Homo-oligomer: A and B are copies of this chain.
């Protein structure tokens, strides 16, 4: 054990009630970024964070991001940035989190008041933002406090970047990070983000990859206006018929993408990468539990996780312009837009994927011999991200997990995207680590969001221990 950790851990245990009180105060501020009427609460939360950080001795700034685009009557919440320590002989770690939360109403089905932290007998702390992302954000504050009170010097310089618009698109943040990577964040040696979740409930993980996403729209148009299917059915080419036909050619029921050439872009699986999977703490029962059904495609956990993390997938999300309400309507929609997306992985470059998708769809549509017209376009894309799990940033975190939890962490990737990860990597050029605090059952974005007391308190130990190992790690590739 790093020598200073024992007094630090003891201090964390001693302060656990006050750490929970800190979380209670934060959860009580309904900092919902998506709702205009809560914007004042998002600012209040920024103020709370700033004053807590200042009280701990950090240098804090609230950096405005201007008016909210499209909602110019609203100011964007500030980015709360802070520095704790400025010792040239220490490594500097930049940590990111967000202090805004998803909307929540008791009527949505919460068992408790969403903006009151409610701790049950099993130590589950329910409340909006408990796990996403107020618990982890306060984790860093708790780390500083416990060090101070234990009389243990923080072994690194800590830079904080806490935003207030994450749940509403991180408006303005990318440019801010870009700018401050040469300014306030310029000393950062590595980045640590705690805003995701363990794969299960027992074992921590370090996350080193995320899939990207290319989101497409494909529109088929025919008549100038919707038609009555009784009057015109059989005499006109129907856009829905053609669209459904095109969509049916994109992916099969086993999840195989049917666009020729897509799979050729995928980085082949190496033996080394393959060897990471068997040890991962995950079972097919875990999958079935999260699906609420046994409709998984693959029969092994390895193949299932690879399908989610390191292979692309194609999902059809829906159709705009057709009849989507309950009941019956005998309409021939005049123009319909299919929405689908491809989750991308190394080495799928967006322009290559787009070309394959566009060419394939157009050639399949041509085969239909319809007089309707088709357009297909990219609605948005976000690149995949993969970091080296052998970097000292990861090995330090791995040792911290072993120290605090007594196990080797799972080395995981995720199927979804966390755009800020790539933003930090690209802006700073430094290694980025995703070090989650919460578990897979925390129900972020859902009703009854919670953070287990164990995850919170041991998580504070983990974050602190990580900083100690970071200070000790030799330089890696």
- A: residues with CB less than 8 A from B are 211, 213, 215, 222-225, 227-238, 240-242, 244-245, 247-248, 251-255, 287, 290-298, 304-305, 307-308, 311-320, 322-333, 339, 341, 343, 368-372, 379-380, 414-417
B324–A240 touching, CB < 8 Å: no
B-side contacts of A314, CB under 8 Å: 233
A234–B320 touching, CB < 8 Å: no
In the assembled complex, the Cα of A379 lies from the Cα of B326 at a distance in Å of 11
In the assembled complex, the Cα of A247 lies from the Cα of B323 at a distance in Å of 14
In the assembled complex, the Cα of A327 lies from the Cα of B316 at a distance in Å of 14
User: CB-nearest residue of chain B relative to A370?
Assistant: B253
B-side contacts of A414, CB under 8 Å: 230-231
In the assembled complex, the Cα of A315 lies from the Cα of B323 at a distance in Å of 12
Known: A253-B245, A368-B253. A318 touches B240 (CB 8 A): yes
B-side contacts of A255, CB under 8 Å: 233-235, 237-238, 241
B-side contacts of A229, CB under 8 Å: 313, 315, 317, 341, 343
In the assembled complex, the Cα of A331 lies from the Cα of B417 at a distance in Å of 13
In the assembled complex, the Cα of A417 lies from the Cα of B238 at a distance in Å of 20
Closest 8 CB pairs of A and B: A224-B292, A230-B416, A318-B323, A234-B313, A318-B322, A233-B313, A248-B248, A234-B307
B-side contacts of A325, CB under 8 Å: 320
In the assembled complex, the Cα of A114 lies from the Cα of B254 at a distance in Å of 54
B-side contacts of A319, CB under 8 Å: 318-319, 322, 324
Of A213, A251, A318, A368, most buried by chain B (CB within 10 Å of CB) is: A318
Additional pairs, 7, CB under 8 Å, beyond known A234-B308, A235-B304, A318-B333: A229-B343, A234-B312, A235-B287, A244-B244, A315-B332, A316-B322, A328-B339
B-side contacts of A245, CB under 8 Å: 248, 252-253
Q: Assembly of this chain: how many copies?
A: 2
A233–B315 touching, CB < 8 Å: yes
B211–A230 touching, CB < 8 Å: yes
Which of B224, B312, B328 is in CB contact (< 8 Å) with A379? Answer: B328
Known: A242-B253, A417-B230. A236 touches B324 (CB 8 A): no
User: Closest CB-CB distance, A437 to chain B, in whole Å?
Assistant: 18
In the assembled complex, the Cα of A222 lies from the Cα of B316 at a distance in Å of 14
User: Closest CB-CB distance, A69 to chain B, in whole Å?
Assistant: 15
In the assembled complex, the Cα of A225 lies from the Cα of B314 at a distance in Å of 19
Known: A318-B324, A341-B330. A253 touches B224 (CB 8 A): no
User: CB-nearest residue of chain B relative to A368?
Assistant: B253
6 contacts between A and B (CB under 8 A): A222-B291, A233-B308, A234-B313, A236-B296, A245-B252, A295-B371
Which of B213, B237, B415 is in CB contact (< 8 Å) with A232? Answer: B415
User: CB-nearest residue of chain B relative to A212?
Assistant: B230
Known: A232-B415, A234-B415, A324-B320. A240 touches B315 (CB 8 A): yes
Which of B215, B298, B316, B327 is in CB contact (< 8 Å) with A238? Answer: B316
B320–A231 touching, CB < 8 Å: no
User: Closest CB-CB distance, A434 to chain B, in whole Å?
Assistant: 14
B-side contacts of A291, CB under 8 Å: 222-224, 227, 232, 236
User: CB-nearest residue of chain B relative to A345?
Assistant: B234
In the assembled complex, the Cα of A331 lies from the Cα of B327 at a distance in Å of 23
B-side contacts of A312, CB under 8 Å: 234
User: CB-nearest residue of chain B relative to A342?
Assistant: B233
Which of B293, B317, B323 is in CB contact (< 8 Å) with A222? Answer: B293
User: Closest CB-CB distance, A423 to chain B, in whole Å?
Assistant: 17
A235–B333 touching, CB < 8 Å: no
User: CB-nearest residue of chain B relative to A330?
Assistant: B341
User: Closest CB-CB distance, A292 to chain B, in whole Å?
Assistant: 2
In the assembled complex, the Cα of A251 lies from the Cα of B241 at a distance in Å of 7
